[in-house]
Structure 1
């Protein structure tokens, strides 16, 4: 029962170009956006109109008996063009590729995700920071009646293009094993152990090791609730003895509650020590909650309501500050989509995002309004 991180999904649609066992799907998305706080400033915010152009290409190749083995690939290029602050113009490139081999008793899943990006999403940066990120996951699965085992390895590297940020370049190697036992027809209990090694090539005092054990359930948890829920303990130690290590509880939850055929609720929670670039801190402890309500109505309409709450706590006081940094972020947004055709979808949306912090210079409010059209060829 191989659990693949970042796996690719490719569904064959009527507009997909298909030749034998090969499917190809080009796409193009254009979006107009208004951002009330382009630079994430606590006051005197600067707003701007942004045009986003996103061409994409997705492909899949099935082979073997009944097409059980698959090769998939997905490329997206996002071009951001600012009406006023053109120094913020950017081009992000995202490429994913995967190989899934299924031999019944044994499975092998290899997935790679490469990003050339300046995105601030999921980072501590207030300004756009150009970097290369690459993540390679390999999972070997063994299936024996009611017992399954996964043996995995993940390699991650981030390389900043600015010379002033070379000291925070890093790479990580993680190995893990997960054992599953069937406790109900569609539900498995699991036990997992992970070892992680973190290396900063230009600052070896930040190098570290982490050990994590988790227990949980995966599959159908109730008649309408599916997903995974697991919790455990993690120890993360660093070579620099003057900085605090992490030793605390961790958790991961990803659930889908199918209320009706047309109404579903996605819920997630992740508690982890995340690597930090903030002064005097090797990490911060994040408690991250997200929820999204999806409703399909009147055949071609889809409404989405989503929210998030992030609590990020830093263990040390930064230079020049009088207290530890603790951030509380929350966001609420909505989106309405209309599918004119299977290959043509348009949408409009609004999001509000606020960060409150013990360090006032890190606070900000943001309003985003957008409209977009996506075409699949």
Structure 2
């Protein structure tokens, strides 16, 4: 039991580190992408329950120091940051079925630049899994109240509400075949509260509604390995304010091949990729794009003490309309979209039941496909590496120390930056 709980906490720390790494790369110049990944059910420690209902409260406190709070080129504005993250998860198993709902918050306060940086974000996630042997239904909703970070000391956060509903229906045709139909609906709505850094830019220009649907066909050719074919269609509806660069409605198609390894195998996860095409409506400045895209998330358990995790992707992401310096006349500062390619390799080693170490390295390339109003095609190469240690003091109490270095090299003046980040986290979960 101690081994299982310690391993679960180690994996949780790994996931936290990856999420923290990704969140630090966000900036207002690059609108935060919305992942198509859905929340999955979690195996949590703890023994608080009311009848069949399991209750898992928890809280973590992170004290960190960043040498570059706004991710700017001069990297002279460092600050201590305190993050308090309370939460609670409710789980209700019903025979072969399962229902889970959780709430958590991130309350962030910086020692400097309070007005620009401080915020509180809230997240509510629900998931329902219905298992009828051959037929399974996975449905749920992810809601969040969040914000984009400021880019300098006179900027502000841009608050938004986001909701994502999803449904997967799978049917096992025979011992080797399975077909899955999926649907996602995602919307994001910003407040009309304008930054003094650029009061002409309305955050609501970045509002959107996106519908993604498609089908996966799996064929199992080894006991724990399947080949898959995926077709997906995505319609993205962006708020049109009557300006040239706000007419960004698009239809996308993807035709992907890949492999999936089931959880009981030594290697677990999915990798898939292939042809991707996006067609924009003719009324705007956006040009169509087609090419190779992929995504992969693999975990390899080398031994009972050593685990490797590899995540990679190549995808097309939208830039932020509000970054246009001349609204209504020129397109966005760096065009409509960019291709983002990269990945993260993470290694976790369990020294004892209570002590684990994590090392990770990441590389990302953001290639902006249009010049936009800057009259220059931007390209960023971003490297990051970090190390952290986890000490599981008790089953319900853990402590982590970590360091991460990030170097973003851009061909556009003012967009390069470096950051040193130190952090310590104390977490309690029941």
Q: What TM-score range do you get, normalising by the shorter chain?
A: over 0.9
Listed as ranges, the matches of 1:297-336 within 5 Å are 297-319=351-373, 321-336=374-389
CA shift for structure 1 position 19: 2.4
Listed as ranges, the matches of 1:64-143 within 5 Å are 67-87=95-115, 88-120=117-149, 128-143=157-172
1:84 counterpart SS class: coil
2:204 counterpart SS class: helix
Q: Which residue of 1 aligns with 2:74?
A: 43
The answer to whether the 8 Å contact 1:10/1:59 transfers is no
TM-score, normalised with respect to structure 2? 0.81
2:256 counterpart SS class: strand
Question: Unpaired segments of 5 or more residues in structure 2?
Answer: 1-35, 194-201, 324-331
Q: Which residue of 2 aligns with 1:188?
A: 226
Relative distance call for 1:221 and 1:111 in structure 2 (3 A) is: closer
Instruction: Render the CA deviation track for 1:290-338: whole Å, top value 9, x for unaligned.
Output: 111111112200111112111111111121x342011111111111110
Counterpart-to-counterpart distance in 2, 1:266 and 1:12: 20
CA shift for structure 1 position 161: 1.3
Figure out how many residues of one structure are paired with residues of the other and give that number. 365
Counterpart-to-counterpart distance in 2, 1:272 and 1:367: 27
Q: Which residue of 1 aligns with 2:288?
A: 245
Instruction: Render the CA deviation track for 1:177-231: whole Å, top value 9, x for unaligned.
Output: 0111111111111111001001013346210100110011111699743321211
The answer to whether the 8 Å contact 2:248/2:284 transfers is no
Counterpart-to-counterpart distance in 1, 2:267 and 2:395: 28
CA shift for structure 1 position 342: 0.5
Query: Which one has a larger percent helix, Structure 1 or Structure 2?
Result: 2
Counterpart-to-counterpart distance in 2, 1:306 and 1:187: 27
Relative distance call for 1:106 and 1:227 in structure 2 (3 A) is: same
2:247 counterpart SS class: helix
The answer to whether the 8 Å contact 1:347/1:373 transfers is yes
Instruction: Render the CA deviation track for 1:49-79: whole Å, top value 9, x for unaligned.
Output: 111111110110011xxx2111101211111
CA shift for structure 1 position 165: 1.0
Relative distance call for 1:106 and 1:221 in structure 2 (3 A) is: closer
Counterpart-to-counterpart distance in 2, 1:128 and 1:369: 23
- Alignment partner for residue 165 of structure 1, among 191, 198, 203? 203
CA shift for structure 1 position 118: 1.8
TM-score, normalised with respect to structure 1? 0.92
Q: Which residue of 1 aligns with 2:31?
A: none
Q: Which residue of 2 aligns with 1:286?
A: 340
Relative distance call for 1:113 and 1:252 in structure 2 (3 A) is: same
